[in-house]
Amino acid sequence: MRIIIVGCGKIGGTILADLVNEGHDLIAIDNDPEVIEEINNIYDVMTVCGNGTDCNTLIEADVKRAEMFIAATASDELNMLSCYIAKQMGAQNTIARIRNPEYNMESLSFLKQKLDLSMAINPDMLAAREMFNVLKLPSAVKIETFSERSFEIIELILKEGSALTGIKLMELRNKFKAKFLICVVGRGERIYIPDGNFILQPGDKIGLTAEPSEIQKLLRALGIDKKQAKNIMLLGGGRIAFYLSKMLTYSGNGVKIIEIDPKKCETLSDALPKAVIINGDGAQQELLLEEGLDSADAFVSLTGMDEENILISIFASTHNVPTVITKVNRNELAAMASKLGLDRVISPKEIMSDVLVRYARALENSKGSNIETLYNIMDGKAEVLEFNVSPEFRHTGVPIMELRLRQGILIAGIIRDRKAIIPSGSDVILHGDKVIILTEDQRLNDLSDIIR
């Protein structure tokens, strides 16, 4: 599929890399010659140096043939204008990155309609939502939700002495009396889609699927059901901090934000009357301790510098803060943070890229792929997709044990009439179901792709 990306900074560059890996025909537009040169050195894609709102630049990029047009510059207004012009010049589907909190849901809906946008994506709000989910279930290091939260997959890291280790997976359901499925295991640099004879070890990162109530039941049985974080300290007062604080204060949590910029503090104080705003340098450890780091239930590091976020998060961990979340955008630093013991690392650019990869796959399939949700899990080594089962799927009513699934594929869940089913070999897929598929290193466009 022919895709144009305007703005190839942190977010746009990640989107570009992921869509190149998907095999699409990419055209990159950026007004910085150095960015364009770097893209030319790394990727085999067409590049245009220029402004995404300039008609001549868009003509050079052959915008009239674009099946998907993504504007991901640092300016919301430029993104919207660029998408509008591209649509008028023939682009089929236009997507704008819009982050400013002033564009609330009502105004975004109005703008989408008037500008004929296919999608408006706010990566900061999506990142805040993911952080909020973790703070509500702090035993997990990552939570992904499906079908309006009726089904979840959570990632856990097994500690020494965990009740899950040393037991065959086929014996776990009987032992814990909860309906769940351990669908993927990360061990070192490898991942496994385990069978019933697989035995978990301390240090494994596991992906576990279940209904939310069943997950709570299992965590209580394991003795790792941490209480929800009530008092949360945020370092950095940017957009993610704003969105996250709104969610937390609305849920009754105590929120304290430490921000070095006095003007930002004034803005936050007006916008978040229930939060405590502290003007100070959060990199100063004494300030964090004075403001109650030792008594915080959770600490979220949200500055604009990945390195600072990592170092301050490590400091918070050494002071036994129960839940520490770190915002990291650079892939190499995210991997380093994990090796340094920071389990909850969240990247806004990766979240947005997942959304666009899913959307591109849906557009690419001529029948409509019916991909409802797509997530990268296990540090990007596996994918989880939610499919709507359409009439074109020819394997309904067949017991799962009789389906000839491709290697590296697992049916992790079925959602029928808003009820979650942890599938066994005798369960079947029916028209109208939503099916959760886990895949290792494979690209799925359609539910039929799981069959050999």
Q: Output the CA–CA distances (angstroms, integers) from residue 150 to 38, 153, 414, in the order listed.
A: 43, 11, 11
Label residue 339 exposed, middle or buried (CB < 10 Å: 0-12, 13-18, 19+).
Answer: exposed
Domain assignment present for residue 181? The answer is no
Mean pLDDT of the 242-270 span: 95
Domain assignment present for residue 80? The answer is yes
Neighbours of 72 (CB within 10 A): 28
Name residue, tokens 């290091």: 141
Neighbours of 278 (CB within 10 A): 18
> Could you tell me if 59 and 110 lie in one domain?
yes
Q: What is the CATH number of the domain that holds 415?
A: 3.30.70.1450
> Could you tell me if 391 and 282 lie in one domain?
no
Tokens representing residue 55 in the block = 């008609």
First vs last C-alpha separation in the chain:
25
> Could you tell me if 416 and 313 lie in one domain?
no
Q: Between 104 and 394, whose confidence is greater?
A: 394
Domain assignment present for residue 184? The answer is no
**Which one of 192-201, 269-278, 423-432 scores highest in mean pLDDT?**
269-278
Q: Are 451 and 395 in contact (CB under 8 A)?
A: yes
Picking from 84, 95, 97, the residue whose alpha carbon sits closest to that of residue 53 is 84
Q: Is the pLDDT of residue 278 over 70?
A: yes
Q: Which domain holds residue 284?
A: 231-321
Residue 366's pLDDT band, with cuts at 50, 70 and 90, is: very low
Domain assignment present for residue 377? The answer is yes
Q: Are 21 and 331 in contact (CB under 8 A)?
A: no
SS3 content of the chain, % helix, strand, coil (to 5): 35, 25, 35
pLDDT over 70, % of the chain? 98
Tokens representing residue 275 in the block = 């939060």
Q: Mean pLDDT across the chain, nearest whole number?
A: 89
Domain assignment present for residue 82? The answer is yes
Tokens representing residue 229 in the block = 């974080």
Q: Is the pLDDT of residue 399 over 80?
A: yes
Q: For 190-238, where are the alpha helices, taking DSSP H only?
A: 212-222
Tokens representing residue 43 in the block = 């990727």
Residue 34's pLDDT band, with cuts at 50, 70 and 90, is: very high
Give CA–CA dist 47/60, Å, rounded: 10
Tokens representing residue 238 in the block = 């940017």
Label residue 395 exposed, middle or buried (CB < 10 Å: 0-12, 13-18, 19+).
Answer: middle
* pLDDT tens by residue, 425-444: 899 999 989 999 999 877 78
Q: Between 378 and 364, whose confidence is greater?
A: 378
pLDDT score for 210 = 82
Q: Output the CA–CA distances (angstroms, integers) from residue 145 to 96, 250, 271, 377, in the order listed.
A: 24, 20, 29, 12
Q: Is the pLDDT of residue 363 over 50?
A: yes
Domain assignment present for residue 67? The answer is yes
Domain assignment present for residue 131? The answer is no
Name 120's bridge partners. Answer: 96
The count of structural domains within the chain is: 3
Q: Are 410 and 437 in contact (CB under 8 A)?
A: yes
> Could you tell me if 264 and 303 lie in one domain?
yes
Mean pLDDT of the 293-314 span: 95
Q: Where are the beta strands (DSSP E) in 193-263?
A: 205-210, 231-235, 254-259
Name 441's bridge partners. Answer: none
Mean pLDDT of the 248-261 span: 95
Given 98, 121, 144, the domain boundary residue is: 121
> Could you tell me if 359 and 305 lie in one domain?
no
pLDDT score for 367 = 46
**Contacts of range 341-344, beta carbons closer than 8 Å, 24 or more positions apart:** 341/314, 341/317, 342/310, 342/313, 342/314, 342/317, 343/141, 343/157, 344/134, 344/141, 344/142
pLDDT score for 148 = 67
Mean pLDDT of the 203-221 span: 84
Q: Is the pLDDT of residue 368 over 50?
A: no
Give CA–CA dist 182/165, Å, rounded: 12
Q: Is the pLDDT of residue 65 over 90?
A: yes
Give CA–CA dist 395/214, Å, rounded: 29
Q: Is the pLDDT of residue 341 over 70?
A: yes
> Could you tell me if 313 and 364 lie in one domain?
no
Q: Is the pLDDT of residue 191 over 60?
A: yes
**Which one of 70-84, 109-123, 158-172 scores highest in mean pLDDT?**
70-84
Q: What is the CATH number of the domain that holds 261?
A: 3.40.50.720
